[in-house]
Amino acid sequence: MPGSGARGLDVGVLYWGPTGHGIEVFPGRVDLTGRLEDKVAIVTGGASGIGRAICQRFGSEGAKVAVADRNIVGAEETLAQMGANSDTAMAIDVNISNASQVERMVEQVVAQYGKVDILVNGAAILIRTPDLVDVDEIIWDLTMETNVKGVFLCCKYTIPAMIASGGGSIVNISSQSGLRGVGYSVPYAVSKAGVIHMTTVAAAQYTAQGVRVNCIAPGGVDTPQMRGSTASAEVFIDRNDSHPMGRVGTADEIANLVLWLASDEASYVSGSTYNIDGGAMALAR
């Protein structure tokens, strides 16, 4: 069984009858590893943060993983941390806003592993900006190229490969910013709202062909990207205080939700966006 942390749940069966009642326990009968056995996944943005955690989680659950990122050094580091070899994982240097590179990425994965079952669109950029009228057009275009066009291209070239092998699961990573907007980056908020709507449209068009498409909207997560966009320790503490749980999330917690959506356990789920924010959106309502 893949992964060194194999776990199982004890299953208890309650019975009640004319001769009495009780619970019969079957130790460790529900296996919590191998949920992605024989699956092939592409994870963009896999060089660090949430993307890296997703790659590691998928690998521990038996998937073959393509770690796709412009930061090829970081992607190789992810492979090393996974303890992977070419039979189980590969690093791909890709600019997701470039159609020919994305098409080649999918072709590489299919050539190496025979199919694509899972796509996680995690690559994104966040650049802090002034108010809308002062936003530099270059920053706007760069954000849309990466965060919106990149997701579009990855879906465009991966969906046909999924359909050819019987279907698959796409998980798009948006943000709480895409649901309610943020003051620190107009382009980022707009781009992440676009990802949510692209998820809905893609699910409407391709679920009947066996491709499930879902989205997650994380709140604050302790990642290098978040720390890089946070001006001071005080701001980081404020973000903790804005979550009812009293803290921001971890990359591993996000990876757990992505794992479920990617797996067959979520076989009846498509077209949905999931908040994963420690209750922050509940406070915003």
Residues forming the active site = 188
DSSP E strands, the chain? 8-17, 20-31, 40-44, 64-69, 89-93, 118-121, 168-173, 211-218, 273-276
Residue 112 and residue 96 in contact, taking contact as beta carbons nearer than 8 Å? no
From residue 192, give the alpha-carbon distance in Å to each of 134, 161, 204. 20, 25, 19
CB neighbours of residue 104 within 10 Å: 14
Strand partners, 276: 218
DSSP code per residue over 3-69: SS---EEEEEEEEEETTEEEEEEEEEEEE-S-TTTT-EEEEETTTSHHHHHHHHHHHHTT-EEEEEE
Which one, of 58, 117, 119, lies nearest residue 84 by Cα? 58
Cβ-based burial of 75 (10 A; exposed 0-12, middle 13-18, buried ≥19): buried
From residue 102, give the alpha-carbon distance in Å to each of 23, 44, 73, 95. 54, 10, 19, 7
CA angle 198, 202, 152 (to 5 degrees): 55
